[in-house]
């Protein structure tokens, strides 16, 4: 061990939520990025203010895991000073199959610790499924949308990991070839602060400080074309919209689905999952898609114009669901199917409670954060619902993120 008091040798024991790994030093938990379970690393303690845990940054690998590989992005590699490591590829030093087992471990741990599931529940052993084409390409070239930053000297690049310091880079290996070629990495953009590079079915656009060409862009999913704002939300992985549409469709139990019920697509964006329901159950299906962003709702109305029973509502989901609870004929929602795709923070206890009070036939939950999903799972279980199915997908290779699609049904409706 080096003489400096803030330099320590640590043995990594397991993975934690958020793309960091766990070690112990003098009885205290230490979170360390850029490592792997089973490794011994030399690290610098960088945050020792809390009594419950400290944070450190890995400087050198003393005993490497068999799953460690050369980092897919040299700008993030461990041989760079920690302050100069580009953020956004925090699992890039790990073999792809091991990345997925680590993500499954995080999901399983969250479901037990925060979701209240038994350790022997089959959902605690959920496998993280690869996305088509990623294994052949080593998990590279999947990002169709990249957000970059510009520093005070006009230099363009990603932020350093866990900081707001711009790092100049030579390449963007997670981006599609079209996005990578269009990114102005070698340009000076004096006075700017952000650069977005977006690939849609219409081609590539580059927006500096949010300024993009006027008009909509378009995305194709199966036989459907979706319009959206140039910088509006759309799934980032090139295959994500198709994969998640299929997963949501499969998660819906046809025996519990009533096309005439007041079905809901919450946090609905431009109507992707409302369209999924219509494409499976017919274009006469009743479904309301709810989204707080009015421009997205306008596009949803256009995208669902062929669905006779569809409507698009601009509203905050919590307020919309609360207003339903005040309706006189609230019992009609017992036949409904509700799909929700909340932000990373999850739907939250209040929204989950309001939804459960409606007693819908089934709830399909699309989640991009394991802990948020687990907490909302606990709230649903406490309100009379049980987890019926769960699938997880590796839609963000070389990062710690994982997507999941969960289905919940009323406890009293489950077969004995």
pLDDT in the model for residue 415? 57
pLDDT in the model for residue 223? 95
Which tens digits make up the pLDDT trace of 113-151?
999 999 999 999 999 999 999 999 999 999 999 999 999
Neighbouring C-beta atoms of residue 66, cutoff 10 Å: 9
For 110-237, where are the E strands, in sequence order? Answer: 128-129, 145-150, 156-157, 194-200, 203-208, 217-221, 224-228
pLDDT in the model for residue 69? 98
Please check whether residue 391 is in contact with residue 104, taking contact to mean a CB–CB distance below 8 angstroms: no
Higher pLDDT, 347 or 213: 347
Strand partners, 74: none
Please check whether residue 231 is in contact with residue 207, taking contact to mean a CB–CB distance below 8 angstroms: yes
**What are phi and psi for residue 307, nearest 5 degrees?**
-95, 110
pLDDT in the model for residue 1? 44
Q: What is the mean pLDDT of the chain?
A: 95
Give the separation between CA 404 and CA 100, rounded to whole angstroms.
13
Catalytic residue, candidates 368, 372, 374, 392: 368
pLDDT in the model for residue 245? 98
The answer to the question of whether 99 is labelled as a binding residue is no
Tell me which residue of 120, 121, 44, 110 sits closest to 83, measured CA to CA: 44
Please give the share of the chain, as a percent, with pLDDT higher than 90.
Answer: 93
Please check whether residue 111 is in contact with residue 104, taking contact to mean a CB–CB distance below 8 angstroms: no
Mean pLDDT for 280-306 is: 97
Higher pLDDT, 414 or 274: 274
CA distances (Å), 70 to each of 96, 151, 275, 394, in order? 12, 29, 42, 20
pLDDT in the model for residue 3? 55
Which tens digits make up the pLDDT trace of 204-231?
999 999 987 778 999 999 999 999 999 9
First to last CA, the chain: 59
For residue 76, the 8-state DSSP code is: G
Strands 337-340 and 362-367: parallel
What is the residue whose two structure tokens read 């949501």?
248
Mean pLDDT for 229-257 is: 97
3-state per-residue secondary structure call for 86-138: ECCCCCCCECHHHHHHHHHHHHHHHHHHCCCCCCCCHHHHCCEECCCCCCCCC
Residue 41 has pLDDT above 50, yes or no: yes
- Place 326 in a pLDDT band, splitting at 50, 70 and 90: confident
pLDDT in the model for residue 212? 76
pLDDT in the model for residue 65? 98
pLDDT in the model for residue 414? 62
Q: Transcribe 28-58 into DSSP letters.
A: EEEEESS--TT-EEEEEEEE---SSEEEEEE
Task: Spell out the domains of the chain, with CATH numbers in brackets.
Answer: 7-68 (2.40.50.140), 104-134+232-413 (3.40.50.150), 145-219 (no CATH)
Cβ-in-10-Å burial (0-12, 13-18, 19+) of 44 comes to: middle
The answer to the question of whether 341 is labelled as a binding residue is yes
The answer to the question of whether 159 is labelled as a binding residue is no
Cβ-in-10-Å burial (0-12, 13-18, 19+) of 195 comes to: buried
The answer to the question of whether 291 is labelled as a binding residue is yes
Determine whether 413 is an active site residue: no
Neighbouring C-beta atoms of residue 378, cutoff 10 Å: 18
Residue 325 has pLDDT above 90, yes or no: no
Burial code of 245-280, b = ≥16 C-beta within 10 A, e = fewer?
A: bebbbebbbeebbbbebbbbbbbbbbbbbbbbbbbb
Residue 101 neighbours by CB under 8 Å, 6+ apart: 128
The helix/strand/coil state of 181 is helix
Give the separation between CA 174 and CA 191, rounded to whole angstroms.
27
Mean pLDDT for 309-330 is: 92
Residue 309 neighbours by CB under 8 Å, 6+ apart: 259, 284, 285, 286, 287
């Amino acid at each position: 061990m080096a003489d400096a008091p803030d330099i320590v040798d640590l043995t990594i024991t397991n993975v934690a939520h958020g793309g960091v790994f766990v070690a112990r030093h003098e009885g205290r938990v230490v979170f360390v990025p850029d490592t792997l379970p089973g490794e011994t690393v030399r690290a610098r303690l960088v945050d020792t203010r809390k009594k419950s845990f400290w944070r450190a940054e890995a400087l050198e690998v003393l005993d490497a895991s068999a799953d460690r590989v050369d980092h897919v992005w040299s700008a993030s590699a461990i041989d760079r000073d920690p302050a100069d490591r580009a953020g956004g590829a925090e699992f890039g030093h790990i073999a792809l199959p091991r990345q997925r087992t680590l993500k499954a471990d995080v999901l399983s741990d969250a479901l037990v610790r925060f979701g209240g599931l038994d350790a022997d529940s089959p959902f605690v052993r959920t496998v993280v499924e690869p996305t088509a084409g990623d294994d052949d390409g080593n998990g590279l070239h999947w990002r169709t949308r990249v957000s970059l930053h510009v520093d005070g000297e006009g230099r363009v690049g990603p932020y350093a990991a866990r900081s707001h310091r711009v790092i100049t880079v030579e390449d963007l290996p997670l981006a599609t070839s079209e996005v990578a070629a269009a990114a102005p990495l070698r340009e000076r953009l004096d006075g700017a602060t952000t650069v977005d590079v977006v690939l849609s079915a219409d081609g590539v656009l580059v927006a500096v400080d949010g300024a993009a060409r006027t008009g909509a862009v378009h995305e194709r999913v199966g036989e459907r074309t979706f319009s959206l704002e140039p910088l509006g939300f759309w799934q980032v992985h090139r295959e994500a919209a198709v994969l998640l549409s299929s997963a949501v469709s499969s998660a819906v139990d046809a025996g519990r689905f009533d096309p005439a019920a007041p079905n809901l697509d919450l946090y609905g964006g431009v109507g992707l999952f409302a369209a999924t329901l219509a494409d499976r159950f017919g274009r006469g299906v009743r479904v309301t898609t709810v989204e707080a962003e009015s421009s997205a709702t306008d596009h949803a109305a256009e995208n669902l114009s062929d669905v006779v029973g569809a409507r698009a509502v601009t509203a905050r989901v919590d307020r919309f669901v609360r207003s339903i609870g005040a309706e006189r004929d609230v019992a009609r929602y017992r036949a409904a199917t509700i799909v929700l795709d909340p932000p990373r923070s999850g739907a939250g206890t209040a929204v989950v409670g309001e939804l459960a009070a409606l007693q819908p036939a089934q709830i399909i939950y699309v989640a991009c954060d394991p802990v948020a999903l687990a907490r909302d799972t606990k709230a649903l279980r406490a309100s009379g619902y049980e987890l019926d199915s769960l699938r997880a997908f590796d839609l963000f290779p070389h990062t710690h993120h994982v997507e999941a699609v969960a289905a919940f049904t009323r406890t009293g409706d489950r077969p004995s």
